[in-house]
Structure 1
Amino acid sequence: MVVVFAITLLAFGLFATERVPVDVTALIVMVALMVLEPWTRISVEEGVAGFSNSATITVLAMFILSAGVSRTGAVQRLGARMATFAGDNERRQLLSVISVAGLPSGVLNNTPIVAMLIPAVSDLAREGGTSPSKLLIPLSYASMVGGMLTLIGTSTNLVASDVSARLLGRPFSMFEFTALGAIVFLTGAGYLLLVGHRLIPERIEATDGLLAEYEMGEYLTEVVVTDGSPLVGRPVETVDGAFPADVAVVRLLRDGREVDDSTAETSIDDGDTLIVRARPDRIQRLISTQGLSITPTDVSEAALDDSSDGAAGGPGEGSRDSDPVCGPRTLVELVVPTGSSFVGERMTGTPLEREYDVDLLSVRRGNDLLHRRIEGLVLDRGDTLLVHAPTATLERMAADPNVIVARELPNREYRRAKLPLAVGIVLGVVGLAALGVLDILVAALGGVVAMVLGGVLKPDELYDAVEWDVIFLLAGLIPLGTAFTETGAATLIGGLVAESAVYLPALGVLWVFYVITALTTAVVSNAGSVVLLVPVGVATAAEIGANPFAFVLAVTFAASADFMTPIGYQTNLLVYGPGGYRFTDYTRVGAPLQIVLSVVTVLGIATLWGI
């Protein structure tokens, strides 16, 4: 038990400090358990069993099924209807976001749903005159409580079902806890509509363009095209190519208004103003070589008011001739999700720069806006990047699983003709598993096969659809849960928790365990909490003579309820940057919700299953 506790503390430390990625931490745990087999009682076969575990494979299949639905544009279609219904009424906007994020999360993985809805919700907020901050935390929270509607709503449910089957011989059925999930969902939705939205600060002004939102005024320079400049007469759409690669032409203004860069007929005139980001030494060189002059005033408000389009870009002498990307450029936010291959990489040399030809202007990391020396910055999960990108590359970026384009692309191509088939496949998986015709694992894998044979997904898209960090996290931590049971560590901790029964009734002990799980999730992750604490919950129930299944359910629901931090649940991290939030915003909004749901969930378990 001492050895297992030591490995667990190591894992907690690595999870909390993020010295290495979470999936690597899980692999370290797995290897340590096998190397120390005489003490951990985890053989090689048991150590790698997480990779063949039914929960792990089912989670993998659900990622692919979710990706198949997303390829048809189903979620985006829901987003469009959401915008039509909501208009500029903030209450309707909030209700739409909660419904569109929460209900589909009952049958599809909630992380990709949030990733797909961030652009639509951000656009909905700005077009309706609402701060995006007011809608993005509700987007995440709604997806979290919506995931508790069915067995397949989150990976947490599937893992808990597998552990429950191993320890109690009682896995979850498809709609095992739908009644309680509906109560939790309605409670969460009511809280967000009546209380939560009042607690969310407007970190981003509804009227701010992206340049103003990222406070770029101090880091941009206005230069004026003078008479005799080689730029005069040049098509606007090629102006970006006239400058070196480390100079970003963000806007072109004429008489205080932005010049449309979409037509080759428009040319640069004497007196036009360029808004550029470049080092001071580079600015001085451009002045001498391109016939430019620096305006004596700060960057004008016209440069900061509108985020719709940037300056043009295209082939030109001296820098981007060899780049195949040309045409108009635009400002856009990019979110680096958990599991992205860009995490740990410097911006220079990544596909963002090499393949998509983006100019990095600023980085939002937590509470901080970073502007200086950002080219060499090591990217981290949750970073939100303000970039100046060719419009021609946006669709390819939107299809890249390593980055989320936080803006709806109206011309993005979807396999809309496959929408009925994709939805039918998912409903078929749910129905076959719910009726007991097929095991959920078999039904989910059959759905994957149907997606490929039906043309919803191409074979090479299967691998990009899977969040491999989650798969390795599950596979690496499942043996740790087994070690807790085999060595008696779970029984020891369960006995200690059971001591609270001296002062509390069984219902109180169940609530304490819910709280312990919720706090653990903030450090370890939701799936990790389930793997570690379900065995402890079963042992606690045995010590006090309570219903062990009630404790399994308490752990399952609490592990999906980390509302108080942006790092304990992936969807919270995804909206962190686009919402401009501070760490404490999650505590302010999430703590009351956490308390309310802890009471509602525990009372619901006691009523529906007994203690």
Structure 2
Amino acid sequence: MPAVTTDALVVFGIVLLTLVLFVTELLPIDVTAIFIMVLLMILGPDGVVNLTRISTAEGISGFSNPATITVLAMLILSSGISRTGLVQILGRKMAAFAGEDRNRQLLATIGVAGPVSGFINNTPVVAILVPVITDLAHAGKTSPSKLLLPLSYASMFGGMLTLIGTSTNILASDVSARLLGHPFSMFEFTSLGVIVLVAGSLYLMTVGPYLLPERVPVEDDYVQEYAIEEYLTEVVVEPDSPLVGRTVGTAITHVDFDADILQVVRDGDEFIEPLGQLTIRAGDVLRLRADRDTLGRLVERDTLTLTGHPPQTGEELEPESETAQTLVEVVIPRGSFLAGKSLASSTFRQRYDANVLAFRSRGETVRDHMDRRRIRVGDTLLIQAAPDSIDRLADNEDFIVAHEPDEPHYRTEKIPHAVAIMLGVVGFAAVPWASVGEALVAATGVGAFTALGALSLPILVTALAGVVAMVATGVLAPTELYDAVEWDVIFLLAGVIPLGIALEQTGGADILGALVAATGTVLPAVGVLWVFYLATGLITGVISNNASVVLMLPVAVEAAGRIGADPFSFVLAVTFAASTAFLTPVGYQTNLFVYGPGGYKFTDYIRVGAPLQLFLSVVTVAGIVVLWGL
């Protein structure tokens, strides 16, 4: 057993602090990563005291790390593909194939999400397909709860098909190169990825339907689904009401009253233009969202009379007119300007002229005092807005609208360009051009074919070249490059990479590796490999998948060396396990995307994900042993 040094204990303490901050979300995940980076440098040789052995150069090395830059480029390329509407078109073809048969709907969901996620970052794939699958479910009289969690899981399976399927693979490749001198090639583990995709898909098709609940009713009625009937009411404005002559936007002060004016009915006509500037008149019927206590105070203060006919369904809040305000769910992704803010502190209502009727947060439905609640990543807002406002929300990467717009703004004419660029990015990085050149020289005797070896380029180079090509061909506008990047992911990578280096340099990885290797006295090498897979999967369920890879890979390599096993097999086990965050909604961003629209509870992920995690642990470990050995 290696000696436990003060340096190693300090780094263990920082790792523990990192885990606590990730789990509790006291700080945003990217801010936590930067904090850890700063802490490592303060306690390094260039700081106050040298305990972490991380110099300033090493502390900021995550920003220039090839994995970080490659992930940044791949996020931009994925955004370019999504803006062409290619994935949405595939989704529509999927819907046409599926019809109203639930098994075909499930097969189509997995069949599109899985393979596509092998070549486009799986996070935007799920963001794109959430509205497609939701519409498919409602059209086919199926609960979205039966399809959305399989969508997220299938995207994780697909992410393991290629190097570029997920940022975790790219980061693991970089760590593997540093520890073993063996980075991943483009299709290094595709054979195992196909096995996992097929096995996981069979589970979702056979066992999954029995375990998945129907949390969201088949009928598309948001009022009843969110149980907000008692929060909706109608009042008549009396002639002596102080509201007469005031605009809708200023009639009710949100600071004083937890209420919203949703609609104004005047002489039988429902006003459909943005209500903020509409002047209230005597006799107007106001449809309100308010709890009973607030309603009582409003009626008493503002001389309002209850009509006795409050709206009870979504149809009553969605008039027949094509331009009328409608109800729609909106999911908050990472990087949204709303994440971390409250509705009161943001400009959401003013910017989009939309009312929030309720929202789901970590399985809880919030119906009152919403202005005071902090919006979190993965929260789903039930909003009422005009079609043009909903279109603006759909076009904004700050939101995922769980309903496809009637007239989406896709650049379908750029599909050939985007596909050609992605083929180039993959082809130049994956094809063994040197071997092809040698084969052609042998076959033809033309020595010039040896020059083909120069076409073999690192994925970092081809991905950045693809970004330039996306802009040059008009697939992406230059100003869209920055919006395409999930900056929290970039800062997360930049922050956790030096933590992994500190774990190695202080001997912390050696200590942990020796502890795990001790299980080799009672378990065979394949048993230790399985332990690493399960441990990584559990850690990924509560912290970022990228952080789990950085922390677990050095330990896995050390443990493999101590028991005389192949370290690369252990690297593969950790890499695959880090993309199997099936147990919780917070371990993987795609799980958060479907949390609200699927109406899931936290326990649903355990009920469906735990058997899947165990099943794939056996399949993956067995596949590694057969394909790579120990």
* Pairwise same-fold verdict (TM > 0.5): yes
Q: 2:626 is matched with which residue?
A: 607
Q: Structure 2: how far apart are the matches of 1:405 and 1:123? A: 11
Per-residue CA deviations over 1:55-81 (Å, capped at 9, x if unaligned) read: 000000010000001111111111111
SS of the counterpart of 2:90? helix
Residue range with higher mean Cα deviation, 33-42 or 197-206:
33-42
Classify 1:372/1:411 alpha carbon distance in 2 versus 1 (closer, same or farther; 3 Å).
same
Q: 1:219 is matched with which residue?
A: 231
Per-residue CA deviations over 1:286-319 (Å, capped at 9, x if unaligned) read: 984xxx742336x35xx41539936989xxxxxx
Q: 2:450 is matched with which residue?
A: none
Tell me, yes or no, if the aligned pair for 1:251 and 1:258 is still in contact at 8 Å: no
Per-residue CA deviations over 1:499-547 (Å, capped at 9, x if unaligned) read: 1111111011100010111111122210001111111111001000000
Q: 1:364 is matched with which residue?
A: 360
Q: 2:502 is matched with which residue?
A: 483
Tell me, yes or no, if the aligned pair for 1:332 and 1:386 is still in contact at 8 Å: yes
SS of the counterpart of 1:579? coil
Q: Mapping of 1:4-403 within 5 angstroms?
A: 4-37=11-44, 38-223=50-235, 248-250=260-262, 275-278=287-290, 279-280=294-295, 283-284=298-299, 288=303, 293-296=305-308, 299=310, 303-306=312-315, 309=318, 328-403=324-399
Letter in 2 for 1:350: S
Residue range with higher mean Cα deviation, 380-389 or 171-180:
380-389
Quote the offset at 1:407 in angstroms.
1.1
SS of the counterpart of 1:538? helix
Quote the offset at 1:204 in angstroms.
0.9
Q: 2:550 is matched with which residue?
A: 531
Q: Structure 2: how far apart are the matches of 1:422 and 1:43? A: 41
Q: Structure 1: how far apart are the matches of 2:477 and 2:347? A: 22
**Residues 1:3 and 2:10 aligned together:** yes
Q: 2:580 is matched with which residue?
A: 561
Classify 1:245/1:90 alpha carbon distance in 2 versus 1 (closer, same or farther; 3 Å).
farther
Q: 2:445 is matched with which residue?
A: none
Q: TM-score, normalised by structure 1?
A: 0.89
Q: Structure 2: how far apart are the matches of 1:258 and 1:86? A: 40
Letter in 2 for 1:374: M
Give the superposed CA RMSD.
Answer: 3.1
Quote the offset at 1:251 in angstroms.
6.0
Q: Structure 2: how far apart are the matches of 1:171 and 1:152? A: 13
Letter in 2 for 1:534: L
Classify 1:511/1:76 alpha carbon distance in 2 versus 1 (closer, same or farther; 3 Å).
same
Per-residue CA deviations over 1:466-501 (Å, capped at 9, x if unaligned) read: 111111111111011111111111111111101111
Q: Structure 2: how far apart are the matches of 1:304 and 1:252? A: 17
Q: 2:613 is matched with which residue?
A: 594
Residue range with higher mean Cα deviation, 427-436 or 141-150:
427-436
* Number of equivalences: 584
Q: 2:447 is matched with which residue?
A: none
Tell me, yes or no, if the aligned pair for 1:55 and 1:162 is still in contact at 8 Å: yes
Tell me, yes or no, if the aligned pair for 1:335 and 1:405 is still in contact at 8 Å: yes
Q: Structure 1: how far apart are the matches of 2:250 and 2:38? A: 54
Residue range with higher mean Cα deviation, 415-424 or 583-592:
415-424
Residue range with higher mean Cα deviation, 344-353 or 186-195:
344-353
Q: 1:469 is matched with which residue?
A: 488
Residue range with higher mean Cα deviation, 387-396 or 556-565:
387-396
Letter in 2 for 1:424: A
Classify 1:227/1:349 alpha carbon distance in 2 versus 1 (closer, same or farther; 3 Å).
closer
| Partner residue of 1:583 out of 575, 581, 602 | 602
| Uncovered stretches (5+) of structure 1, i.e. residues with no partner | 232-238, 263-267, 314-326
Letter in 2 for 1:359: N
Q: 2:520 is matched with which residue?
A: 501
Tell me, yes or no, if the aligned pair for 1:210 and 1:306 is still in contact at 8 Å: no
Classify 1:16/1:287 alpha carbon distance in 2 versus 1 (closer, same or farther; 3 Å).
closer
Q: Structure 1: how far apart are the matches of 2:471 and 2:253? A: 41
Classify 1:369/1:446 alpha carbon distance in 2 versus 1 (closer, same or farther; 3 Å).
same
Tell me, yes or no, if the aligned pair for 1:108 and 1:152 is still in contact at 8 Å: yes
Letter in 2 for 1:421: H
Classify 1:603/1:253 alpha carbon distance in 2 versus 1 (closer, same or farther; 3 Å).
farther
Q: Structure 1: how far apart are the matches of 2:478 and 2:585? A: 34
Classify 1:88/1:258 alpha carbon distance in 2 versus 1 (closer, same or farther; 3 Å).
farther
Letter in 2 for 1:306: E
Q: Structure 2: how far apart are the matches of 1:271 and 1:196? A: 54
Classify 1:308/1:70 alpha carbon distance in 2 versus 1 (closer, same or farther; 3 Å).
farther
Q: 1:319 is matched with which residue?
A: none
SS of the counterpart of 2:382? strand
SS of the counterpart of 1:131? coil
Letter in 1 for 2:351: E
Classify 1:198/1:417 alpha carbon distance in 2 versus 1 (closer, same or farther; 3 Å).
same
Tell me, yes or no, if the aligned pair for 2:262 and 2:355 is still in contact at 8 Å: no
Q: 2:426 is matched with which residue?
A: 430
Per-residue CA deviations over 1:160-206 (Å, capped at 9, x if unaligned) read: 00000111110000000000000000011110000112101111111
Classify 1:307/1:207 alpha carbon distance in 2 versus 1 (closer, same or farther; 3 Å).
farther
Quote the offset at 1:98 in angstroms.
0.7
Letter in 2 for 1:160: A
Quote the offset at 1:605 in angstroms.
0.3
Q: Structure 2: how far apart are the matches of 1:376 and 1:227? A: 33
Tell me, yes or no, if the aligned pair for 2:299 and 2:305 is still in contact at 8 Å: no
**Residues 1:449 and 2:468 aligned together:** yes
Tell me, yes or no, if the aligned pair for 1:360 and 1:375 is still in contact at 8 Å: no
Quote the offset at 1:354 in angstroms.
2.4
SS of the counterpart of 1:360? strand
Quote the offset at 1:465 in angstroms.
0.5
| Partner residue of 2:530 out of 494, 508, 511 | 511
Q: Percent identity?
A: 55
Q: Structure 1: how far apart are the matches of 2:248 and 2:428? A: 56
Tell me, yes or no, if the aligned pair for 1:310 and 1:331 is still in contact at 8 Å: no
Letter in 2 for 1:434: A
Per-residue CA deviations over 1:22-47 (Å, capped at 9, x if unaligned) read: 11111111111111112211111111
SS of the counterpart of 1:361? strand
Tell me, yes or no, if the aligned pair for 2:421 and 2:469 is still in contact at 8 Å: yes
